[in-house]
Chains A and B, each alone.
Chain A
Amino acid sequence: MTTKVWAYSESSGPASEVAAAAKKIADSCGGESVCLELDELRTQVGGCHSKLLLRSEGRLGDSVETAGAAIGEAAASSVPDLILVAATRRGREVGSMLSVKLGRPCIGESFNLRLDGSSLKGDRSVYAGRVVATVSCELPAVAVVKLGAYEPSVEDGVQVVEERVGLPKARVITTGTSKKDAAKVDLRTAKVIVSGGRGFKRREDLDLLVKLAGALGGTIGCSRPLSSDLGWLGEEYHIGLTGVNVHPNLYLAVGISGQLQHVAGIKDSRVIAAINSDKDAPIFQASDYGVVGDLYQVIPAMLRLISGQA
């Protein structure tokens, strides 16, 4: 029997990442990878051997409830050995629901997924990123795949199979949607991130952060206190365990103490640098380069040096 691996994400970028994961696993055992689409085909999504388009008399992909039920129905008849779902907030929900619906084990937040005979193995980071756990389960299974763990690849011209499924009844109804500031902030793909924390005394002072990010060709982010407790920046700027996980070339933490929950979200950065007035701040333990100093003096000095005025 050929091993069948399905890949799904409601979001286009993560969909191609998880498709690449599915293809890699399928290729390792001469299996078949299938990219799942709900309602319509997305041209920017691909990377599997084929596509399976699920349709019904109404929209399926807009809610967790209908997406989960539709994929569950299709999987109950086709019985893929493995279903991969990208770990967006919605994806975690769809993957978890599918595992209960189909009575399958589910590995969460996984990367480095591989087959070992009839079992699936995957790694995941636990305890605020301090430990990597290798988790295994028997196939058929579900895995929620960590964002950024696989390089997306899109191939055109794959075979598309269309399948009709019933329209599940949705109990949760969406009555409105408002966009976050996310269009301006693409922290997941940013090459340089300059991030601020409690060391900033007033909201207006974040102007320094914006200027430094601009001078270094980067984008701004923040630790949890600034977005959650103080509300100086939107939640979409929050970098850390419960916020965005980033992997830029340079992560510069300014006035951030470096709690484990924050470090968990930045540990995949290539170079980490920090500016903090407290020489014992834990962020220095997680950094390649650190400046012990007052950000109100260090940032202006950096700006002068960059503009050549110093």
Chain B
Amino acid sequence: MKVAVCVKQAVDETDLRVDPSGAPMVSAASTKVSVFDKNAVEEALRLKAKAGGEVVVFCLGPPEARKTIKEVLAMGADRAVHVVGDAGSVDSMSTSYLLAKAIRRWGPFDAVLCAEGSSDTYSGQVPPMLSEWLSLPFLGYAKRVEIGASTVTAELSLEDRVETVEAPIPFLASVVSEINEPRYPTLIQIMQASKKQVEEVPAVDLAGGELPRATSVTSLTALSMDRKRIIFSGPPEEAAKKLLDALRGEGVIQK
């Protein structure tokens, strides 16, 4: 079983500072592996543990994204393909297009796994777009994935229901974070990760011409959390009374 898993190096939103004019300083913020991607990598490793084969990581990002690639290689993925380009300047459409090109070039794969969305922009578009580019059956928001001989069974977690579905292999699935508990790499695994193969391909070479029609970000505005931040402390009974009085004063509770 050959499994491709897509990961993103995301902006660490907890490290995002705002300049005096109110503009967020995105390029100055540190980056990290988009946290939900670890669930996709974990699931890929589980599929490999059951059916054998290999797990290949695909990542679109600047040279610094090598950090993220190493982190998931340490979890146990076998090798990686690094599409070198500025992920920040392309939208979901272009990202999915480039990832699809890379997955085709290094494929075929029996399964392609993604997280449900990324921790920084979270729009959940890349997985379904990727399934279209690759013409693969799509299993979105999977909370369970089981591989059979020629089919895959999955449980898809929707707002009000869970659907059990079946599809032929090869397939593409996006997984929710409830699906598993990502493993922590051991020190030995972390050391071994730097010896694993990472093939680099420039995004411009892979695109081979124009990128699909895309969106562009015209402005970024930091949102100020305009909250009152009134703190009540002291004995529980007293603090509880102050809180209830305040909420009554706001008219948000009757009692």
Identify the A interface with B (CB < 8 A).
11, 64-65, 88-90, 92-97, 99-101, 103-109, 121, 124-138, 144, 171-180, 182-183, 191-192, 215-217, 224, 227-229, 235-236, 241-242, 244, 249-250, 260-261, 263, 267, 270-273, 275, 279, 284-294, 297-298, 300-302, 304-306, 310
Contacts and interface: CB of A to CB of B under 8 A. Distances in A.
Contacts of B243: 273, 275, 289, 291, 302
A272 B216 contact: no
Given A137-B213, A177-B164, A293-B236, A288 B230 contact: yes
A81 to B, nearest CB: 14
Q: Is the contact region of chain A dominated by helix, strand, or loop, or is it mixed?
A: mixed
A138 B36 contact: no
Given A99-B93, A130-B24, A293-B236, A287 B116 contact: no
B29 to A, nearest CB: 8
A305 B143 CA distance: 42
Contacts of A127: 11, 13, 16, 24, 26, 120-121
Nearest to A238: B178
B177 interface: yes
A38 to B, nearest CB: 17
B131 to A, nearest CB: 7
Contact of A138 (B117, B213, B240): B213
Interface string B180-215: 010000000000000000000000000000001111
A172 B24 contact: no
A179 B161 CA distance: 4
B163 to A, nearest CB: 5
A301 B236 contact: yes
6 contacts: A92-B128, A97-B138, A132-B221, A138-B213, A228-B177, A279-B231
B178 A228 contact: yes
Interface stretch (B57-65, B70-78, B103-111, B247-255): B247-255
Interface residues of B, number: 86
Contact of B138 (A64, A88, A131, A192): A64
Interface in B5-39: 11, 13-14, 16, 24, 26, 36
B51 interface: no
A135 B125 contact: no
Contacts of B237: 301, 304-305, 310
**Residue of B132, B177, B215 with most partner-chain A CB within 10 A:** B215
B140 A131 contact: no
A279 B239 CA distance: 14
B230 A172 contact: no
Interface of B: 11, 13-14, 16, 24, 26, 36, 91-93, 96, 116-117, 119-129, 131-133, 137-141, 143, 153, 157-168, 176-178, 181, 212-223, 225, 227-233, 236-237, 239-244, 246-247, 250-255
A109 B102 CA distance: 27
A272 B243 CA distance: 11
B132 A100 contact: yes
A310 B128 CA distance: 56
Given A106-B92, A131-B223, A289-B228, A176 B123 contact: no
B137 A65 contact: yes
Contact of A92 (B11, B124, B143, B165): B124
Across the A-B interface, give the 4 residue pairs with the lowest CB-CB distance, nearest first: A108-B123, A100-B132, A301-B240, A250-B252
Contact of A293 (B13, B16, B181, B239): B239
B240 A291 contact: yes
A228 B252 CA distance: 30
Nearest to A173: B166
A11 B165 CA distance: 19
Given A178-B164, A292-B231, 19 more contacts: A92-B124, A93-B138, A96-B127, A100-B212, A126-B120, A126-B122, A130-B13, A137-B215, A172-B165, A175-B165, A242-B36, A270-B252, A273-B243, A279-B231, A284-B229, A285-B225, A290-B229, A290-B230, A293-B236
B124 A288 contact: no
A101 B217 CA distance: 23
A286 B229 CA distance: 7
B214 A294 contact: no
A100 B233 contact: no
B212 A103 contact: yes
Contact of B227 (A96, A105, A250, A272): A272
Given A11-B159, A126-B121, A302-B243, A93 B233 contact: no
B252 A260 contact: no
A287 B13 contact: no
A245 to B, nearest CB: 11
